[in-house]
Amino acid sequence: MSRRPSPEAAASPAIRRKLGVVLVDPLPVVRAGISLLVDGRPDMEILAEAGDGKEGVDALSRVRRTRVVVLVGLGLEGERDASWLIRTVRERFPSHALLAMGANADPTMISRALFVGADGYVDKNVDPVDFLGAILKVADREMVLQGPVAAAVGQIAESIELRRDLDVRLTGREREVLAVAAEGLTARQIATRLGVRERTVTTHLGRIYGKLGVGNRLSAIRMAARSGMVSVGSPE
């Protein structure tokens, strides 16, 4: 049976010293073990538990906290699987931290979780100290990869983190200009494609260089390509 948020957790928005954790995993025995582990620390507490994606979203809707750590088991299946839950939480509760969990999970599954919004991944087979440490790190806005498959997804995780950084630094129009520039078009051609003046494109490119800390178009395109934001054509 899933644990509902306690009346205190749901009703009181007062400042608390403990880090709130919401646990979503399909296996009751896993939830029980992680709950004991988290509640055993004086600086953490389980606010709610859920056995599927819908229950997880419902539980988060009742938890009155500005920021909590949501532990998402990658074993969630069906239409509202782990990826659905991560994406939904990221959209509806953007201030919360998301930590995906699995047991020797496939690197592709982990990469998908990171791509849709997870802040990290921790393997359920790691040492309890490392597991708790991963929770604290994502709470502090760090990307975490713990477990035997960490190296396999490390490069992908770095690209995702860079992509998120670029998404924050660049406006939608700047990202659009950069994507077209990656096709190798001149400023005039970019202007024609986007229906703006050439001077406007030049201004956007200058701002992009400044925000990314680079001196030319090629360097900006290379950085965007590493993040997966653009596909490189033949930049001049």
- Over residues 54-78, the pLDDT tens digits come to 999 999 999 989 999 999 999 998 8
For the residues 190-202, what does the mean pLDDT come to?
A: 93
pLDDT given at position 14: 46
Residue 225 scores a pLDDT above 90: no
C-alpha count within 13 angstroms, C-beta hemisphere, residue 127: 3
pLDDT given at position 236: 40
For the residues 183-203, what does the mean pLDDT come to?
A: 92
Kindly report, residue by residue over 92-117, the tens digit of the pLDDT. Answer: 999 999 999 998 877 778 888 887 88
Q: pTM (2 decimals)?
A: 0.64
**CA-CA-CA-CA dihedral for 66, 68, 74, 80, to nearest 10:** -30
State the SS3 of the chain: CCCCCCHHHHHCCCCCCCEEEEEECCCHHHHHHHHHHHHCCCCEEEEEEECCHHHHHHHHHHCCCCCCEEEEECCCCCCCCHHHHHHHHHHHCCCCEEEEEECCCCHHHHHHHHHHCCCEEEECCCCHHHHHHHHHHHHCCCCEEECCCHHHHHHHHHHHHHHHHHHHHCCHHHHHHHHHHCCCCCHHHHHHHHCCCHHHHHHHHHHHHHHHCCCCHHHHHHHHHHHCCCCCCCCC
Confidence of residue 158 (pLDDT cuts 50, 70, 90): low
pLDDT given at position 220: 86
Residue 126 scores a pLDDT above 80: yes
Residue 151 scores a pLDDT above 90: no
Query: How many of the other CB atoms lie within 10 Å of CB of 28?
Result: 12
Tokens 């030319």 locate to 216
Report the sign of the C-alpha dihedral through residues 103, 109, 115, 116, in that order. Answer: negative
pLDDT given at position 160: 66
Q: Does domain 7-157 have CATH number 3.40.50.2300?
A: yes
CA–CA distances in Å: residue 20 to residues 2, 12, 57, 89, 220: 17, 13, 15, 15, 39
Residue 124 scores a pLDDT above 60: yes
Residue 33 scores a pLDDT above 90: yes
Domain boundaries, the chain: 7-157, 170-227
Give 67 or 7, the one with higher predicted confidence: 67
Contacts of 54 (CB under 8 A, 6+ apart): 80
For the residues 158-187, what does the mean pLDDT come to?
A: 80
170-227 maps to which CATH number?
1.10.10.10
Give 7 or 25, the one with higher predicted confidence: 25
Find the range with the poorest average confidence among 68-72, 204-208, 216-220.
216-220
Give the chain's radius of gyration (CA, Å).
Answer: 21
Sort 116 into a burial class: Cβ within 10 Å, 0-12 / 13-18 / 19+: buried
pLDDT given at position 144: 86
Average pLDDT, the chain: 84
What the block records as the tokens of 50 is 């859920």
Of all residues in the chain, what percent carry a pLDDT higher than 70? 81
